[in-house]
Structure 1
Amino acid sequence: MYEKTYPNKRFNLTLQFLKKHISTSETILDLGVKNPFSEIMISEGFSVENTTGEDLDENRNAIETSSTNVVTAFEIFEHLLSPYEILKSVKADKIIISIPLRLWFATAYRSKTDMRDRHYHEFEDWQLDWLLEKTGWVIKDRQKWTNPVNKLGIRPILRRFTPRYYIVYAERS
């Protein structure tokens, strides 16, 4: 698949999960600016539009006015102060969300140079599940995977066995 272009297995597993639940005849609003994964979705035949970089905590207009069938949010919820408000604003009947999981052996990610590249939340799986249920979504499928790194040390070893990413497919109740 894309292993030669994108060495991280995350893109391959995310694409497999997307194809399992969403057909190419459905339209997708991908939260966040156009990125390598939205390009992969388009190259695989999906009809994708992205938000344009607006602060979704402050301006949910793109979400509230979208007429797409599906919303995807790949590794964006941890950057939002209020994912609850985003989930309540979605008009589509289907959503796929992936998040990095909180790791007990690593602190939350915080860029020292880019204020927008900080994690306000690092979820445990049950927290995202609860958030989806509280906002009217029914989880239909979920998956976790690890993110091994080719380094030496205790944390790299733990990353081989500890799930780092969690992806959920849900539908409106």
Structure 2
Amino acid sequence: MYENTFPNKRFQHTLAFLQKHIAPSESILDLGVENPFSKIMQQNGYKVENTKGEDLDLDFSSVLESDAEVVTAFEIFEHLLAPLHILSSTKANKLVASIPLKLWFSPAYRSKTDKWDRHYHEFEDWQFDWLLEKAGWEIQDSQKWTNPVKKLGIRPLLRAFTPRYYIVYATRK
């Protein structure tokens, strides 16, 4: 379906989960700049507005000003120091968010060339659930999936069996 788009498996799982819970008629604020997945959402009939690249730890005015019914955040919260603030402040009543899970056999991701492309948090599922609950969200559905890689070794073998991604659909309490 998305042969030339990396990462295929994650995008396919994410789109199927989104389509299960969110109608294309619902307006979406997607946290983060326009990206390959926001384009996939648009190609599938969703009306998507993105944030503009501001530091969402310090400036979430675009979230406060948005009247979108749904907030999506796909692999965003692990980059924020304080995701509670933005999760608590949105006016949207629905949330679809995914995160990479913390893997016991792999350190948190940190780019050596990009100071913004770092994971301040790699959550376990219960930690992310707790964060959402504290921010006023109630999880309605969730799913996990693996991210196997085509390499040899112990870590690649573990990746074939250990869930790497976690996605939730939540509504306001």
The alignment's TM-score, normalised by the length of structure 1, stands at 0.98
User: 1:89 Cα shift?
Assistant: 1.0
SS at match of 1:116: coil
Counterpart of 2:4, as a letter, is: T
Deviations 1:46-99 (A, max 9, x none): 000000100000101000110000000000000000000010111100001100
Runs of 4+ in 1 over 4 A off after TM superposition: none
Deviations 1:115-157 (A, max 9, x none): 1000000000000000111111010000000000000000000
SS at match of 2:166: strand
Gaps of 5+ in 1: none
Counterpart of 1:5, as a letter, is: N
2:86 & 2:99 partners in 1: Cα distance?
15
1:51 & 1:135 partners in 2: Cα distance?
20
Matching of residues 47-126 of structure 1 within 5 Å: 47-126=47-126
1:15 & 1:122 partners in 2: Cα distance?
22
Structural RMSD (CA): 0.7
2:126 & 2:76 partners in 1: Cα distance?
18
Match in the other structure for 2:131: 131
| Amino-acid identity (%) | 69
SS at match of 2:87: helix
Deviations 1:7-27 (A, max 9, x none): 530000000000000000000
1:5 & 1:96 partners in 2: Cα distance?
25
Match in the other structure for 2:4: 5
Counterpart of 1:14, as a letter, is: T
Gaps of 5+ in 2: none
The aligned length equals 172
1:68 & 1:94 partners in 2: Cα distance?
9
1:58 & 1:135 partners in 2: Cα distance?
17
Counterpart of 1:120, as a letter, is: Y
Match in the other structure for 1:158: 158
1:164 & 1:69 partners in 2: Cα distance?
28
Counterpart of 1:92, as a letter, is: A
SS at match of 1:165: strand
